[in-house]
Structure 1
Amino acid sequence: MFYDLVVSNRSYRRFYEEHSISEGRLLELVNYGRLSASGANKQPLKYIISSDKEKNQIIFPHLLWAGYLKDWSGPKEGERPSGYIIILQDKKIGTSGVDHGIAAQSILLGARSMDLGGCMIQSIKRDELQTALHIPDQYEILLVLALGKPKEVVIIEEIEEGEDIKYWRDERQEHHVPKRKMKDVVLTL
């Protein structure tokens, strides 16, 4: 069961935009991040949530989507996320180390358990988004999680050592994600 949850937790980039996510659902997901491990238990992460269409429209243009897909600038209208969780670092508390990655993974696994999907986005026009949302300087934007009901098929492709790791889309717009084989990631020393 956990295996299926992990395998189905892909970077989804197209969604059924009309499928709304309640604020309560987003808060439930944030709670998974809040309860996740934190280096030295500092807990420097803060979160901004959005399931509001107007706020979502402010967030969307500040995100850069799928760098390997050079001919695709992101989801078109109707396929955009219906919710976002912005993960911030409270600079007054300290640095997050890898806390934001741990929290993001917990949130995305939680989203999959709710039949939702998401994409962890680190390519962000941070200064512009910070200004657009009036985020105080005390907070640094670390990640944006784009969330929604997935509208795309993501296929894992096992590759041989040395083959290209760049994801790609086929003619049916199915998203293929190359993954190294188990024998190529476990070292026997």
Structure 2
Amino acid sequence: MSKLVHQEAVFADVIRDRHSVRKYDPSFKISREELTELLTEATLAPSGANIQPWRFFVIDEPSLKQVLLPIAFNQEQVVQASAVIAVLADTQADSKVDQIYGAAVEAGYMTEQAKETLTANIRRHYADASAEVVSSLMVDCGLASMQLMLAAKARGYDTVAMGGYNKQAFQETFGIPDRYKSVMLIAVGKAAQQAHATVRLPIEDVTFWNEYTGEK
């Protein structure tokens, strides 16, 4: 088997084996070192103009998970999982544009002229945090979130993404400024019980080829 075929097989296993797990072994802990590695892998996801608007708020202290529990409507995975990662979208992500593009210039990936042009465009784009801007940030953060969950599965861990929580209470309780938009919570840990099986719609029920042919 060629290296490429082997990689494809491994990746196929990861995406097929990933399921939303809600029962975790509360005695199992993922080290902060490994959590940091997972987050680093998540940041390899693509983003518009490589602005990388995702920010991660990690809760791994048992006492703070208990604080989060009622905010997350008492979903038990919040306290059972090794950690809960809140994915945030930074509406002032352009604040790091000089750092990002400066590093790209230094690495030889971008010219200084391209950096100046892109920087000016990004600053104009972020000057007004419109619904369109926020929507694009949410897309970018969704890509990083999925990458995080796949990276966790590749390491033998399980996850569940949670949109069911009081976002306002979460940000107020944990002192997160309004510049950040709460995208989702992701519980990560060792499964104590397998996820229940799910089904997917046939691909022909969700795909159009080149033209809209009617409601599906």
Amino acid aligned to 1:50:
I
Query: Are 2:83 and 1:86 equivalent residues in the alignment?
Result: no
Aligned-CA RMSD value: 2.1
CA distance in 1, matches of 2:207, 2:76: 36
CA distance in 1, matches of 2:20, 2:77: 16
Q: CA deviation at 1:12?
A: 0.8
Provide, for residues 83-106 of structure 1, a one-character-per-residue CA deviation record: whole Å limited to 9, x for no partner. Answer: 111111112225314111110111
Q: 2:69 maps to which residue? A: 60
Identity of aligned residues (%): 24
CA distance in 2, matches of 1:21, 1:57: 18
**Equivalent residue in structure 2 for 1:5, among 1, 5, 14:** 14
Indicate the SS of the match to 1:98: helix
Q: 2:201 maps to which residue? A: 180
Structure with higher RCO (Cα < 8 A, 6+ apart): 2
Structure 2 counterparts to residues 80-159 of structure 1, below 5 A: 80-93=80-93, 94=126, 95=134, 96-154=137-195
Q: CA deviation at 1:28?
A: 1.1
Unaligned runs of 5+ in 1: 65-72, 155-174
Q: 1:22 maps to which residue? A: 31
Q: Report the CA distance shift for 1:114/1:127 in structure 2 as closer, same or farther (over 3 A).
A: same
Q: CA deviation at 1:76?
A: 7.3
Amino acid aligned to 2:172:
T
Provide, for residues 5-45 of structure 1, a one-character-per-residue CA deviation record: whole Å limited to 9, x for no partner. Answer: 00111111111111011111221111122221001222111
Structure with greater Cα Rg: 2
Is residue 69–residue 76 contact of structure 2 (8 Å, CA) maintained in 1? no
**Which is further off, 116-125 or 50-59?**
50-59
Q: CA deviation at 1:148?
A: 1.0
CA distance in 1, matches of 2:206, 2:200: 10
Query: Are 2:76 and 1:75 equivalent residues in the alignment?
Result: yes
Unaligned runs of 5+ in 2: 1-9, 94-125, 127-133, 211-216
Q: 2:114 maps to which residue? A: none
Q: CA deviation at 1:186?
A: 4.4
The TM-score normalised by the length of structure 1 is: 0.76
Is residue 89–residue 138 contact of structure 2 (8 Å, CA) maintained in 1? no
The TM-score normalised by the length of structure 2 is: 0.67
Amino acid aligned to 1:178:
V
* Aligned residues between the structures: 160
